[in-house]
Structure 1
């Protein structure tokens, strides 16, 4: 049986923190599906199509990485795509507490789907999309926060 994991998030935009988790997960799973969650109550900075295109561009030479969008419960998305694992990145103790609560609810809904936590690498451990969006919004240099493909498309001349 294939080890498929879903790495859910908004990826608005995808950062070097996200790619750190994805890259390290490639050795653990046969397929890493980056699931862009669409939340009707949130207004993203970048359209979902752009976020999906970035992921596909970054991983164009890595067939183990797929990108999709979904609405609703993450656990339902896992069931739909046949993922038995959910992957989450942890930057801090606060992240862990929040993610642990979500993992416990997901496990109650479907005990066959397991959540795996990966600690962020120290060099990207403080990156959050919220901070990155603020840098971009204020015309700051986000080149050390974003994959090159993303930075090239968002930087202002």
Structure 2
């Protein structure tokens, strides 16, 4: 899944099920659902978080990470980030954005292919310029090898 801007989680789940050739009987048993309910989930753009967690376990695939990547790429900086406000909270606070290898590869690929310039990537996705340049130095040779095969 290259596009994390428009997420249709049911379609993605169905794609993983087909690729992994998971039998519908196993899915129904694991999720305690009927075949019709499973098909409804495939057609659903969003799912309840507990159901999504069960699917993640069944598929052995972190479906929540897709949403995290969407937040990293497409959400504007929070007011706290813009103002450097440190507020005490009881909920977990994350110090840094976590960029997955897949996301880094995708960003480097669009720069190497010329789909976006470095400046456009920095502006569009809010990735710090130094981080992007570090990725290009570190991962570009590996990406170039993939294109040449």
Q: Which has the higher strand share?
A: 1
Q: Which has the higher helix share?
A: 2
In the superposition, the TM-score normalised over structure 1's length comes to 0.29
In the superposition, the TM-score normalised over structure 2's length comes to 0.30
Which of structures 1 and 2 has the larger relative contact order (alpha carbons within 8 angstroms, sep 6+)?
1
